[in-house]
Amino acid sequence: LTHSFAVKDIHTYIGIPDVLEEDCQRISDLIASFDYDDYDRLIQLCDSIAMAEGPTDMVTRMSDVKNRYGFYPREKWDKHLELQKYFEDKMGKSLNEVLSCQTSNHQTQ
């Protein structure tokens, strides 16, 4: 569940909401109760670079999602870039270098 919510706000969900309002509230409360650790953050990072063809640079992935759904919440965009920096600092090198991804020259929406 945590992979879709790097930002603990159910309104940052990208997709068609298909649950009842009371279930939406339960999910929101559950997300808010989690204390994310590096495992959660790593899964969120992986989700933010995963394409059908394999991993790609994060901005390319987020731009693809934005193009398909028509939006990508700014707070979520920024949080994913923050996650990338967090893990790059831990690795001492860029994520794209580690994954040998083509990098995008875009850092904003």
Tell me if 109 is assigned to some domain. Answer: no
Residue 50: inside a domain:
yes
Structurally, the chain folds into a number of domains equal to 1
Q: What would the pLDDT profile of 3-30 be if each residue is shown by its tens digit?
A: 999 999 999 999 888 999 999 999 999 9
**Residues β-bridged to residue 50:** 55
Residue located via tokens 């759904």 = 69
Residue 56 lies in a domain: yes
Residue 106 inside a domain? The answer is: no
**Is the pTM here over 0.75, yes or no?**
yes
Between 38-47 and 74-91, two packed helices, what is the crossing angle to 10 degrees? 120
Q: Report the sign of the C-alpha dihedral through residues 46, 51, 55, 59, in that order.
A: negative
Q: Are 98 and 55 in contact (CB under 8 A)?
A: no
Judge whether 104 lies within some domain: no
Domain limits for position 39: 2-99
> Is 37 inside a domain boundary?
yes
Tell me the pLDDT tens digit for each residue of 95-108.
Answer: 988 887 554 444 44
pLDDT for position 99: 86
Residues with Cβ < 8 Å from 75, sequence gap 6 or more? 7, 9, 12
User: pLDDT tens, 38-95?
Assistant: 999 999 999 999 999 889 999 999 999 999 999 999 999 999 999 999 999 999 999 9
